[in-house]
Amino acid sequence: MLMKFWTGVEWLARAVLCALLSAMVIVCLGQVIWRYVFNDPLIWSEELARFLFVWVGYLSAWFAWSKRAHIALDAVTYLRLPGLERACGRIVETLVLIYCGWTLYACLGFLSLTNNQPSAVLDVPMSYVYAGYAAMCVLIIGDILIGWAYGARQSSPAVPQE
């Protein structure tokens, strides 16, 4: 049941990531067209594109984590010792879990401070923009805990065979 729920959460996060990336491309393309074709730049497009880029960056960081595609030292995987590889994977996951938990706690305090701070052009609370980091932390923490509970994740990418 929990695994089915988490699969739905991951699907939704990937769909949101695709939608935000598409919206960012459309907004940037619109800005270029209005600036160079109509000679009348859009006032709000740069700020919106920047806010979308922040969210795309954070959701992409989670997506890379879920696929174990982040840059990593992979010297242990080349030793081909499964026990050592699993132990190192658990150590890394534990450190990432602690880091994400601590920074999520700090981020929640920061979000309450910025809730009444509007953005310059769009006049949306800046906490909406900064909430992308909290979303990334929640997704990474969930990925680690679900992986520990169900063994659904690899500790590292597969080493290519020679």
pLDDT in the model for residue 21:
98
Q: How far apart are the first and last CA of the chain?
A: 40
Q: Do the domain assignments include residue 130?
A: yes
Residue 160 has pLDDT above 60, yes or no: no
Give residue-wise pLDDT tens across range 80-121. 888 888 898 899 999 999 999 999 999 999 999 999 999 999
Q: Identify which has the larger pLDDT, 141 or 151.
A: 141
Q: How far apart are CA 72 and CA 38, in angstroms?
A: 47
Q: Do the domain assignments include residue 162?
A: no
DSSP H helical ranges for the chain: 2-36, 45-66, 75-78, 82-114, 126-150
How many domains is the chain partitioned into structurally? 1
Q: Do the domain assignments include residue 155?
A: no
Least confident of 21-25, 101-105, 132-136, 148-152: 148-152
Q: Do the domain assignments include residue 158?
A: no
pLDDT in the model for residue 23:
98
Q: Do the domain assignments include residue 159?
A: no
> What pTM was estimated for this model as a whole?
0.87
Give residue-wise pLDDT tens across range 6-51. 999 999 999 999 999 999 999 999 999 999 999 999 999 999 999 9
Residue 159 has pLDDT above 50, yes or no: no
Q: How far apart are CA 31 and CA 27, in angstroms?
A: 6
Q: Do the domain assignments include residue 157?
A: no
pLDDT in the model for residue 155:
47
Q: Do the domain assignments include residue 19?
A: yes
Q: Do the domain assignments include residue 59?
A: yes
Give the structural domain span for 117: 1-150
